Every structure is written in structure tokens, then in C-alpha cells.
Structure 1
Amino acid sequence: QKALKDYRKKLLDHREREAEVRKLRTEIRDKNKEYDRTEEDLKALQSVGQIIGELLRQLDEERYIVKASSGPRYVVGCRNKVKRDLLKPGARVTLDMTTLTIMRVLPREVDPLVYNMAAEDPGKVSYSDIGGLGDQIRQIREVIELPLINPDLFVRVGIKPPKGVLLYGPPGTGKTLLARAIACNIEASFLKVVSSAIVDKYIGESARLIREMFGYAKEHQPCVIFMDEIDAIGGRRFSEGTSADREIQRTLMELLNQLDGFEVLSKVKIIMATNRPDVLDPALLRPGRLDRKVEISLPNE
């Protein structure tokens, strides 16, 4: 009986020791994590910043001409870990402070307004939620959805897919709701643009925003751009006007240029909406830019 008591005592003591060992192992693991975090913070404090530059051209397999953000140009090498297929003329890169070696490739610079356009949530809208517009939904899906989902169909038939569609009709007939339904039902990036927000008081800023918007769309294909209230920048041009009118005309010309710059089978589609189609510029409405005009009339039965 004494031996049994000693055994139980030793067993309890062993279990206590095991619990202490587990506790110590947990503390060691936490201390190691804290040590690694402290080491990373220390490296961040000791690390030197890098210069942002632009790649101009490639001389050979190892040497490149880059332009630093401060202005001068350099012939530099490249870090081994950088993927060579990303080093194309116009790419943004970071350069080491001392050797000016290319350290990494950066994504293109995009205006924060464009990111806000892409981040807007269209909500959950299905085509069945839109009543009385069955024929219009079919036309829009043929123009926007079909070329993105099945582009080979257009190649086999020999038809150029439409670049964009104009939705016009009285206020409150569901033009914006249709665009939201398209954004929810296709697997593509979606940019919602309020045309009046593009206009800037500084000369050239509105045109630059249009360029960055289409550049972002081409990098994130397939992509659908929805421009609401397009009559804010797409009005008919005239010779006389104030400086603000001329800035809006410059914005329209940049938009026309970007629409013409699309590739034939590019996976970037544009939807424009307005309730004043009579004031739009004829150059915007011609075939090749906005190939389809869909009237969103009052709902049928």
C-alpha cells in the first residue's frame, strides 16, 4: 500500500512537471516570435530607402537605362530575383541608394480617385430584379457580356465586337440599376465613374484622370467602365466659351482618343448613361466608339 501511495505521488509529480514543461515551451515560442518581430523592426530602422525611377530601355541582358525621379539617367544592373519579363520600357522600378541597382518592379501609378471607382460596391442585383426591361437587358448582354465571356464566337463569325453602349431615357427608368446588374453578374473588374466628378479646375488634370482610368482598366482586364451622366463632359463642342468649357472639351477629346485606342478584341467595355442624348457630341455617338444605343423607356407591362 505504501508503494501504491508513492506511485500515485510520483505520477502526480510527473504530471505537474509535464504541465510546467508545456508552459515553458509556450513561453519560449512566444519569446521567439517577439524576438523575430524585434529583429524585423530593427532591420526596418537600419534599412535605407530606395529611389523610384522609370525604365527607359534595355541595353543587353544585364544592363538597363533608367531615369531617376530627380531627373538624371543612369545605366544600371538588375537584382537576380527580379523577373526579367516585367522589365519593359515605362515600368516603374526602385533603385538602390548607393549602387542604383534595380531592386524591384512597382505597379503603375494610379490616381486615388481611380481606386475609389474600382472599390465601390455595386451591391447584389440580379437581372430578375429589373422588371419590364427584358429586351434592353438582352441587347446590353449581347454587347457587354458576350464579347467578354465568349470572344472566340466573334472571331469565327468575323464580326468586330462592340466597344461600348449608350443607355438613354427619362430619369428613373433604371439605367444605373442595369449597370449594377451587369457588374454583379459577370466576373470582371468594374469602374463606376460619375462624369461630373472628373472635371477639375486645373488644366490637363481631367484628361490625365481619363488616361489613368483607361490604363487601369487595360491592366485589369476583363473590365467594364460605367460612366454615369456622360452629358457632363460629352456635350456638343462649340467655338465660343469660357476656359471651363474648353477644359471640358479637352476632357472629351481625351475620352474620344481613348475610345479609338482600344484593340479590336480588347476585354475593356464601356457603358455610358444619360437622360439628355440630344446634347451629346456627334463624335462620341458615331459607330466605332459607342456602337449601340439602347433606349431605356418607361417599363412595359
Structure 2
Amino acid sequence: REEVKKQSGRYEKTEDDLKALQGVGQLIGEVLKQLDSEKFIVKTSSGPRYMVGSKPKIDKASLTAGTRVALDMTTLTVMRKLQREVDPLVFNMLHEDPGSVQYGEVGGLSEQIRQMREVIELPLTNPELFKRVGIKTPKGVLLYGPPGTGKTLLARAMASNMNCNFMKVVASAIVDKYIGESARVIREMFAYARDHEPCIIFMDEIDAIGGRRFSQGTSADREIQRTLMELLNQLDGFDELGAVKIIMATNRPDVLDPALMRPGRLDRKIEIPLPNETARVDILKIHSSKIAKQGDI
């Protein structure tokens, strides 16, 4: 009986593949509303809206508003559910390898590592602790300090030691010359992160889009301000971030907008200072651990 089931499944898959090869192309559409258990209102890529049915094999509950679907050319029946459309820039953010960095390889920052783990790691690994106490989980953390003190290295260590997705973006790469494109990338980035929870978003050089707003300025300045407003909306809008955490890094915290710095958006500000004498010894030990040495050093 098991063998018959297996062969039946293979037969159906082969039949579907054969139909796909012989069939004509399909239209791309979007589900707007479910009318009843069988009928949906969809919008095609060309613009018109239609009331259509769907293939019996498709799970009707998964066809929620905003879902991308493939429609038959003639009957416009929903043939299959498609994945969310993702900007290649956002897709590459998630699939960038952060490398393998252990906490022991970060010298002189033990206190900063402890604070980072409290804000980022603890809410993702033990969210029930926060529910038991009755407090909201922190959303994000800001790392600030002089260049070269280990802000990016700390974020990479966090990504390497946690079993979650990691999105790295340099804020200056988001800025686009076309109006609205930068804000769209921010929206897609957070939507993609919510689809791949648990997820950590690391935004380096946040001062590129998070600078203080002012009334005067060029059209380029206004576009950057629109990008910042979209970022603020995503951080504390109506959509809860859930298991998405934000790490931002900058070496110029004085130029950041006060709205970005307030609690509820960035709940913890961690300074990454220049290493003192003890920290320099730790760093030297880490970098010299694989070097062949002779005598006492």
C-alpha cells in the first residue's frame, strides 16, 4: 500500500511537470480579497480585477490578501501560489555569509558583549521570560564609537553564535536617486525579515540615512529624510517586529536624529571605546595565538 501511494505521488508529479512543459505561460497576479471558500478577487499585473476560482489542490487558507499567484491565460484560474517578490538587493542582504567569529575572538569587549546578548540574544532565545514579567522585548541596539573599535566584528560574532537569519546592509547602499525607491527597499527589507524570523538586521553606517532632519535642503536631502521616516515607521508602526531585532552602528552618534534615538526604537546604546591597556593585551593574545613563537613573550 505504501509503495502504491509513493508511485501515485510520482505519477501526479510527473503529470504536473508534463502539463507545465506543454502548457502556455501564466499571468502574474495578486489576491485582493477572498469572497467565499471558492472565489477570490485578484488583480493582474496589467491592472484589471477579476473574480476567479482556484485549483482544488491549492490550500485556500494560504491565499490571503497580498499573496502573489499565477493565473491561467484563458480562464484566469489561480494555478499556484508564488513567493513574495523580493528586490535583489534585499535578497543578497540575507544570503551574505557573516563568517565564523566566536565571542572569544573579540578582545576587550566582554561588558559590551554581555549587554548585546541581553538585548538581542535573550529575547530571541527565551521570549517567555519577558512575557512572564509582563514587559515588551527590546527592539534594537545602537553601537557607537570611533572607527575600527570592533562594532561590525561584534555584530558578526552575534550572527555566528545564534541560530537565526542575519541581514547586513550598509545604509549608504539603500539611498537611491529615484523618489520613493529608498523607502521601498526599507519596507521590503523588514517584510523579508518578518518572513524569515528569527532574524537580525545589522545596519552599518546608519548616519548615512539617520541624520538630524531640518527644514532647508535639496531634493536629495528630502529623499534621505523620507527614507528615515519609513525606517521610523517600520520600527514602531502598527506591525510588531516580533522576532526581528535591529543592530545599528555608527561612529557619529551626535548627528543622529533624536526620533531614532528615543527608547522604544533603539532601547540600548552601547559605546564601543578605544581599547585600554588590558584590552590591548587581550587583542594581542588573540592575534598572536596562531603565530609560531619562541621563548616567553
TM category, shorter: 0.7 to 0.9
Distance apart, 1:104 and its partner CA: 0.6
Give the residue type in structure 2 aligned to 1:276: R
- In the alignment, what sits opposite 2:228? 252
CA distance in 1, matches of 2:201, 2:138: 14
Q: Residues 48 and 265 (structure 1 numbering): CA distance in 2 closer, same or farther, change over 3 Å?
A: closer
Q: Does 1:53 align with 2:29?
A: yes
Match of 1:180 in 2: 156
Task: Name the counterpart of 1:97.
Answer: 73
Task: Give a deviation string over 1:25-61, Cα, whole Å, max 9, x none.
Answer: xxxxxxxxxxxxxx99986653200000010111111
Find 2:215's aligned residue among 228, 232, 239.
239
Q: Which 4+ runs in 1 deviate beyond 6 A?
A: 39-42
Which residue does 1:194 correspond to in 2? Answer: 170
Aligned to 1:72: 48
- Residue 205 of structure 1: aligned partner: 181
Which residue of structure 2 lines up, in the alignment, with residue 120 of structure 1? Answer: 96
CA deviations on 1:230-271 (whole Å, 9 max, x unpaired) are: 000000001111111110000000000000127557100000
Q: d(CA) in 2 for partners of 1:124 and 1:173?
A: 19
Residue 119 of structure 2 corresponds to 143
Instruction: Work out the CA distance in 2 between the residues paired with 1:165 and 1:267.
Output: 14
Q: What's the offset of the Cα at 1:99?
A: 1.1
Give the RMSD, CA atoms, in angstroms: 1.6
8 Å CA contact 1:204–1:247 kept in 2: the answer is: yes
Given candidates 284, 287, 291, the residue that maps to 2:260 is 284
Alignment partner of 1:225 is 2:196: no
Q: Structure 1 CA distance, aligned partners of 2:108 and 2:18?
A: 64
2:219, 2:239 → 1: CA distance?
33
- Structure 1: any 5+ residue segments left out of the alignment? 1-38
Distance in 2 separating the partners of 1:143 and 1:262:
22
Identity within the alignment, %: 76
What whole-Å deviation, never above 9, does each CA across 1:113-143 have from its counterpart, x for those lacking one?
0011111111000000001000000000000
Matched-pair contact (CA < 8 Å) for 1:160–1:264: no
Equivalent residue pairs, number: 263
Structure with bigger gyration radius: 1
Distance of 1:71 and 1:297 partners within structure 2: 55
3-state SS, counterpart of residue 211 of structure 1: helix
2:270 matched to 1:294?
Answer: yes
1:160 aligns with 2:132: no
1-structure distance, mates of 2:56, 2:133: 46
Matched residues in 1 for 2:253 and 2:171: separation?
15
Distance in 1 of aligned mates of 2:244 and 2:20:
41
**How far is the alpha carbon of 1:158 from its aligned partner?**
1.4
Amino acid at match of 2:46: S
> In 1, are the aligned partners of 2:194 and 2:241 still within 8 Å (CA)?
no
CA deviation string 1:263-290 (max 9, x = no partner): 5571000000000000000000000000
- Determine helix, strand or coil for the equivalent of 2:203: strand
Question: Unpaired segments of 5 or more residues in structure 2?
Answer: 1-14, 279-297
3-state SS, counterpart of residue 108 of structure 2: coil
In the alignment, is the contact (CA less than 8 A) between 1:151 and 1:265 conserved in 2? no
Relative distance call for 1:213 and 1:142 in structure 2 (3 A) is: same
Q: TM-score, normalised by structure 1?
A: 0.85
